Amino acid sequence: MKQTRVMIVDNHPMVAEGIQSILETYDDLNIVACLTTGEDALQHLEASLPDVVLMDLNMPGMGGLTATELVLERALSTRVLILSMHDSPEYIATAMNHGASGYILKDVPTDEIKIAIDTAMMASNTCAPAHKLHLANKAQAHSQHLQAVSK
């Protein structure tokens, strides 16, 4: 069985180590790095060759969005899943526009992180169902507003 190589990047060690401890219980995951900055992620990218990066959105120095773009430029097959406490559609859409394969809230049940990793490996965009519905509703409302304005 091929293991999915996972890099965790979060400036809060307790969060990163907690996620690492949980993910290490899965036989099909291999945690290749647990880092605290976007700069560290870029420095360890070539050596660790992650399939998936769990990237904190808000970090001091290089933020998660910039780090996501740079990871994707340097490792074309790597998928980046944004970890965040922000559930607003604007944050989610911005992360996806920066190339993230998915967006995971830090308060989701731990099995959803595993599901997001598996989904990302299937080359699908990954958002919790409630976020997908919220984004779809927001897009529909925006479209209806544009139609009303153009009449």
Q: Residue 45 in 3-state DSSP? A: helix
Q: Which contiguous run of DSSP H or E holds residue 32? A: strand 29-35
User: Going from the N-terminus, what domains does the chain have, and what CATH number goes with each?
Assistant: 4-150 (3.40.50.2300)
pLDDT beyond 90 at 26: yes
Dist. CA 8–CA 25, nearest whole Å: 15
Dist. CA 48–CA 45, nearest whole Å: 5
Dist. CA 141–CA 64, nearest whole Å: 28
pTM of the predicted model as reported, rounded to 2 decimal places: 0.81
- For residue 4, list its beta bridge partners: 29
pLDDT in tens, 36-65: 999 999 999 999 999 999 999 999 999 999
